[in-house]
Amino acid sequence: MSYYNLLDENWIPVLYLNGEFTRLSVKKTLEDAHLIRQIAASNPMDRVAIIRFLLAILYWCKGNPPKEENEIPTKFPMEWFEKLDQNRECFNLFGDGKRFYQDESTKSKNMLPIGSLIHEIPTGISIYHFRHAIDGKVGICPVCCAFGLLRLPVFTTQGGRGKGPGINNKPPLYIIPLGKTLLETLFISYKPVFNLGSPSWDTQNNVNTTDGTVPLLNGLTDLPRIVRLGEPTTKGQCINCGVIDSLITKCVFNDNRNRYGNAKWEDPHVAYFKSKSLSTDNPLKIWFKTDRPWTTLLNYFLETNLNPPQNFLIVGFASDQAKHIDIWERILKIPKLDNSENNAQFQKEWDEAIKKIPNLIKNSKRKKNLNEQIIIRIIRPHIEKQISSNLSSIIDGTIQPWDFASSEFKKVMPILAKSLTPGFLSADIDKQTKIASFVPIFKSTNNQKSKKLKGKDKDESN
């Protein structure tokens, strides 16, 4: 019988500093963490889930960071992780005994298609999918099962039929500070905590919320579903990753909510801004405001004192009641910030200015309503995407957002002009030229100040 132990099997995709890609066991990943550049899963959800899993292992094995270790060690002392070998059975994916992130009491009850475990695999009878899967016939490999289990605490959405979301409710934006190696990345997030608790894979998984908070390890590994993987069957092609391996076609997948009552949970990788966690917008809203939640991110970073400059892996999860989901990622370099209130003001002004844009284009014969839709649904997301791609430079002041937005308009307006007027009669050509040369005037109420952002220390006395 296969047990598929996560400590020994090579399943974690990693990219070494020398460019080599391979898959490693949990133990080898920790042993080589100082030589590994990053977790190299193709889906950003898996990168976030694996980093958080390794962080939970670090806390579980070593406890809080040792006081004498002010600096990041050159490599992990492997004696820190002796607890792993003492609890090997906790990391079995299959077999009769204890299994990783699975419930023994639910054996063979109400098995569902394995697609329940992986967001990308469709289940049920909806035909609106690019990829089709036959429930109960297609299967996934053990590695993809491990990925699916690790996603449970991080990316579980509100499901149909009375299934609740994960501990962070609607999956929020995860913001993970990155180091130059995996070792550094884990250490940046490895901070002393008061209420450590124990992870879901631990046989003594106690929940102590007496101080009103959810303990760190309980929260990081909290399972909103009761899962039990079916047994691996004969070999075939994994519908998720394409490898030929023994496949798992079914699993138990039941709701497992309300484990912590009203205890407060503060996730180490979630940005709380004005006591709400940042998340992405529903991608299907008709007046979908922006392509990405960059304005809230901008505010968050401007309000958070980050020192020194740092790279962040930012992974956002947008959903429409779990029917449609979208995942995106960005690696953002946040510079050392001083007082950047001028650019924080920019976000408010942007929202005001953008509302006026539809009124600015009056020269078309078409209905105003149509213009609004074109502007808001096509041009605005495009321009906002350009701006959000340059967020680091906007935060540090090397790009002035208003100038940048204007220059982006200059690129797209000629294209819009062609779609609004035929361009054969001279009157139409006139209109086309007018529209093409249109640039909205963004009037920043804080204009003079924002220009001084970089040279603040030069002329403070003025």
Residue (241 or 412) nearer to Zn ion, CB: 241
Nearer to Zn ion, 118 or 318 (CB): 118
Structure tokens at 382: 């495009």
- Cβ 49 to Zn ion, closest distance in Å? 15
Closest to Zn ion by CB, 146 vs 173, is: 146
Choice between 137 and 323, CB closer to Zn ion: 137
Angle at 444 between CA 299 and CA 380, to 5 degrees: 65
Rg for the chain, CA atoms, rounded: 26
Q: Is the peptide bond before 308 cis (omega within 30 degrees of 0)?
A: yes
Name which of 30 and 141 has its Cβ closer to Zn ion: 141
Give the residue among 177, 391, 166 at the shortest CA–CA distance from 296: 391
Min. distance of Cβ 59 from Zn ion in angstroms?
Answer: 28
Q: What residue has token string 């598929």?
A: 4
CB closer to Zn ion, 240 vs 400: 240
Beta carbon of residue 446, minimum distance to Zn ion (angstroms, whole number): 52
User: To the nearest whole angstrom, how small is the minimum distance from the Cβ of residue 312 to Zn ion?
Assistant: 29
Closest approach, Cβ 149 to Zn ion, in A, equals 13
Q: 């967020």: which residue's tokens?
A: 391
Give min distance, CB of 41 to Zn ion, in A.
11
Comparing CA positions, the residue from 350, 374, 378 lying closest to residue 443 is 350
Q: Which of 201, 200, 203, 319 is nearest to 260 (CA)?
A: 200
**Cβ-based nearer residue to Zn ion, 114 or 391:** 114
- Cβ(156)–Cβ(257) under 8 Å? no
Q: Burial of 57 by CB count in 10 Å (0-12 exposed, 13-18 middle, 19+ buried)?
A: buried
Tokens of 287: 């007046």
- What is the sign, positive or negative, of the torsion defined by CA atoms of 279, 284, 285, 289? positive
* Residue with smaller CB distance to Zn ion, 230 or 401: 230
In the complex, minimum distance from the CB of residue 136 to Zn ion, in angstroms, rounded to a whole number: 17
| Closest to Zn ion by CB, 183 or 238 | 238
**b/e sequence 135-152, b meaning 16+ C-beta within 10 Å:** beebbbbbbbbbbbbbbb
Instruction: Report the nearest approach of Zn ion to the CB of residue 400 (Å).
Output: 47
Minimum CB separation of residue 317 from Zn ion in Å reads: 21
What residue type is 137 in one-letter code? K
Residues that bind Zn ion (CB under 5 A): 141, 144, 238, 240-241
- Residue with smaller CB distance to Zn ion, 134 or 370: 134
3-state SS class at 374: helix
What is the Cα–Cα distance from 195 to 44, expressed in whole angstroms? Answer: 29
> Hey, is 176 helix, strand or coil?
strand
Closest separation between CB of residue 176 and Zn ion, Å? 24
**HSE, side-chain direction, 13 A CA sphere, residue 305:** 2
Least distance between Zn ion and beta carbon 148 (Å) = 10
SS3 135: coil
Strand, coil or helix: 228: strand
In the complex with Zn ion, the residue whose CB is nearer, 42 or 258, is 42
Measure the CA–CA gap between 401 and 393, rounded to whole angstroms.
9
E strands in 142-292: 174-178, 225-229, 235-237, 244-246, 250-255, 272-273, 276-277
